[in-house]
């Protein structure tokens, strides 16, 4: 039996690493299932914010990248005509869009399929949190017009949807109608090896706390809340990792740091490649990431796997962490519980914090060993294809 052929459109892909969770989701999907599915990936030829392309890209050709063949498009190629040609000339059984709102990698394939008959294959859309109310509130008018136009032109007609959890399924149906066909499949976790049992790290001193924030610098990630809470607690530091996705928001955060009276307690460390995430987080006492919304939260899982407890919001799939002894997931409407949790972490000694670190790591290992994501993703593809 021949392999299933999937044509995957993604704003960002490997070898880049600055595109956030949707980029990681696409890379992990291909890594996990590329041995049994033939993936062709269409993406940009550079990371977000970069002016130069990745090295050694063949112009206008497919390139083997990991478990996929990838067509990297330069800015001049991000046109309806190029996308239509790729769809028409690339054999595929299913089109998978890794975004709902991207013009070249969602709207163009949908318009091509609707009006040019370049493909009659089923289409699957993974919004990766784009339909969450918090995400739709960003550039609200533009997104409302896009959804209205999509419904009017019927470009989403007969499309299937991929939700990563029950809440995202509800968000999709709120935006596109209760009759939207939605499959629920958790995002595939990274295929990393586990960190060492005893990572090299400084001993935890009672009365001190070294925290990390690791995410794209974007209003959705709530860095401003993290800064305000950390600034109110003496003897704490916050190292900030991640690409600057919204320069105006980063400027606001810098002003908050300057006005905090504790500017030296905050350090911006820039973006780091995926291979450095777990070794980096293993050196910190906590990952502080009070996001407004996360469809998965790769940094959260990688922190836990690196024996770094997490302090996050209650708007991610990672819940009841305190009950599991792996960290805290708290409501972002009130900063007071975050402050209480940070004070508790600050005042822990090495023995208490060491036990917390071990529980965090055990929690992540159990998740990675028992994740249903791979089987659920296979079943989702078969459902979209009608049981082929």
Q: E strand or H helix at 357, and its extent?
A: helix 350-370
Domain ranges across the chain? 4-187+372-384, 209-370
Cis check: omega of the bond before 254, within 30 degrees of 0: no
Most confident of 52-56, 114-118, 367-371: 52-56
Furthest CA-CA distance within the chain: 66
At 39 the three-state DSSP class reads: strand
Calculate mean pLDDT across residues 244-266: 96
E strand segments, 133-231: 160-163, 181-184, 209-214
Q: What is the pLDDT of residue 1?
A: 56
Model confidence band, residue 222 (pLDDT cutoffs 50, 70, 90) = very high
- 3-state SS of 122-134 is CEEECCCCCCCHH
For residue 386, what pLDDT is reported?
A: 85
Domain range 209-370, CATH class: alpha beta
Residue 133 phi/psi, 5° resolution?
-55, -40
pLDDT tens for 79-109 read 999 999 999 999 999 999 999 999 999 999 9
pLDDT at 67 over 80: yes
State whether the Cα torsion 213-215-217-221 is positive or negative. Answer: negative
Between CA 174 and CA 170 the distance in angstroms is 6
CATH 3.40.50.2000 fits 4-187+372-384, yes or no: yes
Place of tokens 């067509």: 71
Number of residues assigned to the chain: 388
Q: Tell whether the model's pLDDT for residue 238 goes beyond 90.
A: yes
Distance CA 143, CA 141 (A): 6
The residue that leads in pLDDT, 387 or 374, is: 374
Q: Would the CATH topology of 4-187+372-384 be identical to that of 209-370?
A: yes
Rounded to whole angstroms, how far apart are CA atoms 177 and 171? 10
Angle between helices 373-384 and 21-33 (to 10 degrees): 90
The C-alpha atoms of residue 218 and residue 204 are separated, in whole angstroms, by 30
- pLDDT score recorded for residue 319: 92
Stretch (H or E) spanning 371? none
The Cα–Cα gap between 61 and 42 comes to: 11
């Amino acid at each position: 039996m021949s392999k299933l052929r999937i044509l995957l459109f993604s704003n960002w892909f490997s070898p880049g690493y600055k595109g956030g969770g949707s980029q990681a989701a696409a890379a992990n999907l291909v890594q996990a299932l590329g041995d049994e599915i033939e993936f062709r990936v269409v993406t940009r030829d550079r990371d977000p914010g970069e002016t130069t392309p990745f090295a050694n890209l063949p112009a206008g050709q497919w390139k083997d990248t990991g478990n996929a063949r990838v067509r990297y498009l330069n800015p001049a190629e991000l046109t309806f005509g190029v996308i239509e040609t790729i769809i028409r000339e690339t054999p595929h059984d299913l089109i998978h869009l890794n975004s709902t709102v991207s013009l070249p990698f969602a709207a163009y394939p949908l318009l091509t399929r609707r009006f040019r008959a370049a493909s009659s294959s089923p289409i699957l859309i993974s919004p990766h949190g784009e339909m969450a109310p918090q995400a739709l509130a960003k550039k609200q008018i533009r997104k409302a017009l896009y959804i209205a136009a999509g419904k009017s032109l019927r470009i989403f007609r007969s499309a299937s949807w991929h939700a990563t959890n029950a809440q995202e399924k509800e968000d999709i149906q709120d935006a596109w109608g209760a009759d939207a066909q939605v499959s629920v499949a958790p995002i595939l976790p990274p295929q990393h090896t586990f960190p060492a049992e005893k990572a090299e790290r400084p001993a935890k001193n009672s009365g001190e706390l070294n925290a990390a924030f690791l995410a794209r610098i974007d209003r959705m990630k709530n860095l401003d809340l993290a800064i305000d809470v950390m600034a109110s607690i003496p003897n704490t530091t916050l190292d900030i990792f991640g690409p600057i996705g919204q320069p105006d928001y980063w400027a606001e955060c810098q002003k908050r740091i300057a006005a905090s009276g504790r500017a030296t307690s905050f350090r911006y460390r820039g973006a780091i490649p995926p291979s450095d995430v777990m070794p980096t987080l293993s050196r910190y006492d906590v990952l502080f990431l009070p996001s407004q919304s996360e469809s998965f939260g790769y940094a959260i899982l990688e922190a836990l796997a690196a024996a770094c407890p997490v302090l996050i919001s209650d708007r991610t799939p990672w819940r009841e962490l305190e009950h599991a002894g792996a960290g805290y997931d708290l409501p972002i409407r009130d900063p007071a519980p975050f402050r209480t949790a940070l004070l508790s972490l600050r005042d822990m000694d090495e023995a208490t914090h060491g036990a917390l670190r071990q529980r965090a790591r055990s929690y992540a290992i159990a998740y990675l060993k028992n994740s249903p994501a791979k089987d659920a993703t296979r079943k989702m593809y078969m459902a979209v294809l009608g049981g082929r």
